[in-house]
Amino acid sequence: MTAPRGYGVLNFLTACEVLIKDFSEIYPEWAKLAKTACVIPVSSVPAERGFSLQNRIKTAQRSRLGENNVTRLMRIASYGETIETFDFNSAAAQFTAAKMHKK
């Protein structure tokens, strides 16, 4: 992409940033378009990864899992600690304390 004087050659993201920052008053509609273009995902990999994870969690044997539980299990599988670093004693203590609190 050829840029205005003083900008050199810009990649797409940098061109959008320059348009938003330096030219939004002159080209307001182009600036809106650039803001939108900057947040469009360039790949479907994260979505595909999520669907694969969901299919691994909600199998035929676990078909009665509700939406909330599937979401929680996906979150744990994606962001949770590994079994090597998980503190089981702390988790058991929190579970016991929560159970006592309900009584």
pLDDT tens digits along 27-38: 999 999 999 988
**Per-residue pLDDT for 101 more than 90?**
no
Decide: residue 17, CB within 10 A, 0-12 exposed, 13-18 middle, 19+ buried.
middle
The pTM of the whole model exceeds 0.75: no
72 band by pLDDT with thresholds 50, 70 and 90: very high
Q: Of 18, 67, 8, nearest to 38 (Cα)?
A: 18
Segment among 1-15, 52-66, 80-94 with least mean pLDDT:
1-15
Could you give the CA distance from residue 57 to residue 82 in angstroms, rounded to a whole number?
A: 17
**Per-residue pLDDT for 3 more than 60?**
no
90 band by pLDDT with thresholds 50, 70 and 90: very high
- Whole-number pLDDT of residue 4: 60
65 band by pLDDT with thresholds 50, 70 and 90: very high
